[in-house]
Amino acid sequence: MSLRSRVVPPLAAVVTAASLAACGGGGGGDTANKAEVPISATAASGELDTSATLTFADPFQNDTIDPAKNDSGFPTRQLNLVYDRLIGIAPSGELTPQLATKWEFTNPTTLRLTLRSGVKFQDGAPFDAAAVVKNLDRSRDLPDAGAAVSTPAEAIKDVKASGDDVVEITLKKPRYSILYDLAQNLGMMISPGSLSGSLDRTAVGAGMYKLVDFKPGVSATYERWDGYWDPDAVKLAGFVIKSIPDAQTRINALQSGQVTMSLIDESQVRDAKGASLRVSEEATVSAWTMFLNLTRGELKNEQVRQAISHAIDRKALVETLGHGHGEPAVQLFPSSYEAYSQDWPAAKYPFDVAKAKELLAAAGHPDGVEFSALILNRPLDKQLGQALQRMVEPVGIKLSLKVVEPARYSMFTDGEVDMFLGRWGGRADPADTLKSNAAKGGFINPGGGTAPDFQALMDKIDNTPTGDARVKLVQEASAIFAQRQLDIPIFARRSIFADKGCVVGFTPYMVGADEYRGVGVRKNCD
Amino acid sequence: MLRLLARRLLMSVPILVIVTLVVFFLLEIAPGDPARRAAGGEMASAADVAEARRRLGLDEPLWTRYWHFIEGLFTGDLGQSIFSGQPVLSAIAERVPVSLSLMAGALTVAMLIAVPAGIIAATRPGSIADRVVMLISAGGVAMPNFLIGLLLVLVFALQLGIFPATGYVPFEQSPAGWFQALVLPSVALGVAAAAEIARFLRASMLDVLDQDYIRTARAKGIGVRSVLGKHAMKNAFAPVLTVLGLQVRILIGGTVVIEQIFNLPGLGSLTVKAVFDRDYPIIQGVAISAALVVVVTNILVDVAYGYLNPKLRAA
């Protein structure tokens, strides 16, 4: 365990409590009022400070700002500022037009994109079909592209421009989730003039803000780009993202006015509110989960998995581990997400020791079973592991915890342990999230163990275009996942932001990286 | 004096070689695969991981890689970060000013506190002033620097708003801002060093003040200031130099924690991230840089020791 993680959090909690309590009394009535207005509320243009720079404290440290290499999910919020994508994602997860105004599959392997006309890159180059072809060709050819870009790029057989405003993407085989890929890093459009050089520290896109300075792992500084195609989306003069990994340091920076907004931990919410900071939270497609290796031992048995699920007091874990911020879950999705199946709420697996024992006995293990569980050496992960260990013990289930450094997570994917206790952020495409966890070939499904009906449904989803029908199939798959407990979700997490009540127009994203379209700062507000 | 310097420089060569060996081979046996991480983590295919391993040169034999590493040290090419693609020297050069500023600030704070405190305590042994200095210095040694840092932030940044809670301002951008940003972290890092140095200075000074030549000087009617400043300090300070050299080593370690608390983009935070990422070139570069700083500091201490104590020049 690092020195920081060992000594700072407990102490920081004490100091935070003291400091926030001390500062809390100073909050004036105006601050209190500001804290009551939702962060997503819009404001009249006269109320906004268009000369303001929003400084955001981000726990993630970006090494590179190249969309093809930086593919690790949440840090891409930095890239969204400078790079617009072919397809956008709404905060709730639906696909929306961005640089492409329309898309359709003319056949299962051909995607036709109609591009927005009149758009320019930040260096003045026109955004057209030829630029899209060059961008996708780069993603296909780049030897050191990250897996989130190289995997979908490998699925592309050919990309052709049809005039200035239409692009046809031919796929090697049907892959409707390519739309979600184009709504993430693969779809980030880079000016053709800068494609040949290194994009690790420079960026020329067609986004709302221009990159002024990028220091790997430290900060990224942006300024407004006046040539943006949707000027109403740009409400700030600049944007600075400071990488501050330590949660306590982030809140210190927020309180002292060095940053405008910050991601905070669940444990800091009460104190932050006490200090008159506004706290905004949103459900996310990220859940604390028991990720199972379904090819090992008794985990192949559905009744054993269901017994484990009944042995877990999810509500208690939300209250302790999540400090009351989270939602008990037996699916990988929060209940407000489109892919969530209403047929399988968490209430279907109530905390019931007797039922768990009954299921275990029915599975042929009246004397109990034993599993090895991998845990990453991080405070919350270990708390989860220890809590689960104690919860399932009365049922007769023994968990042998193996605590390792994060770099040794591959012990799970290499099949060395029965399960991994931790959390994962999910994918923009809910089908991809389910597939990754519980279908054959899923990258966090070691051994490829699955249930036949679930696999059949996932295969069907692969050949179903995005739209209502596909969403319905994903809901069915999520229901089967929950019923069979192919993994055992514990509770869905929330992303929590704090600010002094000055930020307007911001809606935290459920999946993928946040965007800052229409986000501004009130005048005379600090 | 030149012979002393030459001897110390020669002695530092095997030390640096050992450091390179230890750093290189420790990383080799550390768990975690940088090739997998570079290929995109767990969702990377075996082919992607193999390609990343080849691209990063991690498929070459161990000794070949060590030889390339040593070659790079002589040509100034320490490789590139596996993840940012940034040359290691450039990454270190960007961060060094922050860490050096912090260490210089901490040493300044340490000396500003330790020298007067040590002298006051030594010249009035057993007095209330002496006891207060010893009590406070015991507290300074005992209190971890992260606790001092958090308390300083609480009082001087969050409550009083005098200094910033986090961040760094480059000197060339704003000298005043640079100074302001460094005050709290320097105090947090320097207090323990101050306490240690004050205790050593007091002990050393007490020993010197008991010497015959000091008694003679006093008997001759030389003023207290002159006795202390001209005669006692020079000899009393020699052992303190050793402690000062040791403190540099401790301060380098301390920057790792302090840079996290104050979010300073120095070598400490670079190292923490590189270790978690298994970014071998960066870790090796930082370790060698830190070893160089320690070796150079030791040489400077030895040379200064020789200056203060001529008997050692011939040793």
Q: Which residue of B has its CA nearest to A198?
A: B85
Q: Which residue of B has its CA nearest to A259?
A: B166
Q: Is residue A322 part of a domain?
A: yes
Split into its structural domains, chain A has a count of 2
Residue A417 lies in a domain: no
B273 Cα to chain A: minimum distance (Å)? 8
pLDDT at A18: 42
Provide the shortest C-alpha distance from residue A515 to chain B (in Å): 23
Inter-chain residue contact B150 with A444, CB threshold 8 Å: no
Nearest to B32 among A61, A143, A405 (CB): A405
Res B7: pLDDT: 81
Calculate mean pLDDT across residues B140-145: 85
| A170 and A151 housed in the same domain | yes
Of B97, B146, B84, B98, nearest to B274 (Cα)? B84
Q: Can you tell me the distance from the alpha carbon of B85 to that of B80, in angstroms, rounded to the nearest whole number?
A: 5
The mean of the pLDDT values for chain A is 89
pLDDT tens digits, residue range A148-195? Answer: 788 889 999 999 999 999 999 999 998 899 999 999 999 999 999 999
Residues A241 and A295 in one domain: no
In a domain, A366, yes or no: no
Q: Which residues of B touch A7 (CB under 8 A)?
A: 144, 146
DSSP A17-55: HHHHHHHHTT--HHHHHHHHS-TT----GGGB-TT-EEE
Q: Which of A15, A147, A217 lies closest to B40 in CB terms?
A: A147
What is the nearest CA distance from B165 to chain A, expressed in angstroms? 6
The pLDDT assigned to A8 comes to 43
pLDDT at A17: 41
CA A448, A451, A453: angle at the middle one, nearest 5?
130
Distance from CA of B239 to the nearest CA of A (A): 31
For B56, nearest residue in chain A (alpha carbons): A144
Q: Identify whether A415 is part of a domain.
A: no
Q: Is the complex ipTM higher than 0.90?
A: no
Give percent of chain B with pLDDT exceeding 70.
Answer: 96
Asked if A252 contacts B166 with a C-beta cutoff of 8 angstroms, the reply is yes
Closest residue to B158, CB basis, from A2, A252, A409 = A252
Give me the mean pLDDT over the B24-29 stretch: 80
Do B165 and A217 count as a contact with CB atoms less than 8 A apart? no
Whether A407 maps to a domain, the answer reads no
Report, as an integer, the average pLDDT of B265-283. Answer: 88
- Whether A345 and A462 map to the same domain: the answer is yes
- Ordered by where they begin, the domains of chain B are 95-314 (1.10.3720.10)
Q: For residue A305, what are the CA distances in angstroms to A39, A292, A445, A484, B40?
A: 41, 9, 15, 8, 31
Q: Do A210 and A329 reside in the same domain of the chain?
A: no
Which pLDDT value is given to residue B142?
84
Domain-located, residue A475: yes
The predicted structure's pLDDT at residue B42: 61
With CB atoms and an 8 Å threshold, state whether A252 touches B84: no
Residue B97: predicted pLDDT: 94
Question: Does some domain include residue A386?
Answer: no
Nearest CA-CA distance, residue B111 and chain A, Å:
27
CATH code (residue A86): 3.40.190.10
CA trace torsion B263, B266, B269, B273 (10° rounding): 130
Say whether both A181 and A303 belong to one domain.
Answer: no
> Which residues of chain B have a CB within 8 Å of the CB of A8?
146, 257, 260-261
3-state secondary structure of A169: strand
CA distance B186 to B163: 12
Q: In this structure, are A351 and A215 located in the same domain?
A: no
Which residue, among A2, A240, A256, would best test binding to B if mutated, counting the most B CBs under 10 Å from its CB?
A256
A505 and A472 part of one domain: no
pLDDT at A336: 92
Subunit contact A256:B83, Cβ cutoff 8 A: no
Q: Which residue has the higher pLDDT, B166 or B50?
A: B166
- Cβ of A15 and B150 within 8 Å? yes
- Domain assignment present for A390: no
**A294 and A218 fall within a common domain:** no
Instruction: Examine the pLDDT at B301 and tell me if it is beyond 60.
Output: yes
Q: Chain B contacts of A61, Cβ < 8 Å?
A: 273
Mark yes or no for CB contact A407/B37 under 8 Å: yes
Kindly identify which residue of chain B lies nearest to residue A249, measuring between CA atoms: B261
Of residues B33, B44, B276, nearest to A147 (C-beta): B44
Q: Tell me what the pLDDT averaged over chain B comes to.
A: 86
Question: Angle, nearest 10°, between helix axes A247-255 and B233-261?
Answer: 90
B42 to A444: CB separation less than 8 angstroms, yes or no: yes
Do A506 and A478 belong to one domain? no
Instruction: List the CATH number of the domain containing A319.
Output: 3.10.105.10
d(CA B244, CA B251): 10
Q: Do the Cβ atoms of A18 and B44 come within 8 Å?
A: no
Q: Give the percent of chain B with pLDDT over 90.
A: 31
The count of CB pairs under 8 A between chains A and B is: 138
How do residues B198-244 score in pLDDT, each as one tens digit? 988 899 888 888 888 888 888 888 888 888 877 888 788 878 888 88
Range of the domain at A451: 283-361+423-494
Contact assignment for B260 to A4 by CB distance below 8 Å: yes
Query: Nearest chain A Cα to B35, which residue?
Result: A144
Contact B129, B215 (CB under 8 A): no
A209, A316: one domain: no
Q: How far is B22 from chain A (nearest CA, A)?
A: 20
pLDDT for the residue numbered A29: 44
A287 and A273 fall within a common domain: no
DSSP state of A447: G
The pLDDT averaged over each successive group of 10 residues in chain A (526 residues) is 42 42 41 69 84 93 85 73 95 92 94 96 97 96 82 92 95 92 94 92 96 92 96 96 91 92 92 90 92 94 96 96 95 94 95 96 94 91 94 95 82 90 87 93 89 95 90 97 97 93 91 87 84
Give the pTM.
Answer: 0.83
Residue A388 to chain B, least CA–CA distance (Å): 25
Q: Which residue of A has its CA nearest to B260?
A: A246
Q: A172 and A129 in one domain?
A: yes
Residue B33 token pair: 């695969």
Give the pLDDT score at A455.
Answer: 96
